[in-house]
Structure 1
């Protein structure tokens, strides 16, 4: 039975029409949480992100890519953000972006797993995101259907050579993505949608 489920998972499709879906930047967010002094959390976000979702005829031909501008970090404290951008921390002059490229999509219905590679500067490491599909809905503002996803995962700063502030900041960074993608123009909605 396990092998049957596995076969179904790898040959199924995403619950979306095929095509290239573009990000809706006004309804998408890249958020993170990191421990401070081991006793509380600092929360932040990156405000500049570009992403694309290609829905293929199968999961094997479906993919996600994203690029995040590291200088767009916002933790709600301008002085702290300036310090994080500095050469002794993120060094955004040397590491301007963080990029993601999926390598595998698995799952069904509302729950999916997105495996990929995350690159920060010149370091690339594997990452796995748990993805929840929120649904597909027309938006009155642009009359296009939007697909919503929530994804969660975590990385270790040390894996990317970002081990500054040991003892002050935790090594684990938890990631939460809230993303909306716009249906390709000209895609016909299925009957009854």
Structure 2
């Protein structure tokens, strides 16, 4: 089971590293900039989560996370250099998958640390969103978290699904899959149909 969690973590790290690399390409950054942006996107949210939970930071003693980041950077840069152009929706797709993986893993880790359900959902949001938040700030963009289609809300929905599944004694693998699907499908729907949660009335 621990091995399964680890592989999910690595997949999430790699997907978010891809999204960081795509932003670095859009911003015409050099090699060092690519590595920095991909890395903070991949491990930023999980680092903030672990510091808040007062548990060992997940990547400090496990070099496989950096291997996953490096592999994602090399693969993405090779594809970009071959195609010369990357549609913007590729960034949104990569980001959505990273969001789905990390929202679930963050919620799960908080529950395993003995946190109540609401805290666990918040930790899922932090895990899923804060890497992208740091990425966008470094790239001098308004973070996706603060604008446009549903973003953090999708993590909240996924975290709620996961905690409910656990409370109803569903097996962990099923809970993870259902939670990831909820986050992913809700994010894709928000992108496709421009679903937002406005609280102010803006002129058309």
TM-score by length of 1: 0.29
Q: Which entry has the higher C-alpha Rg, 1 or 2?
A: 1
Q: TM-score, normalised by structure 2?
A: 0.28
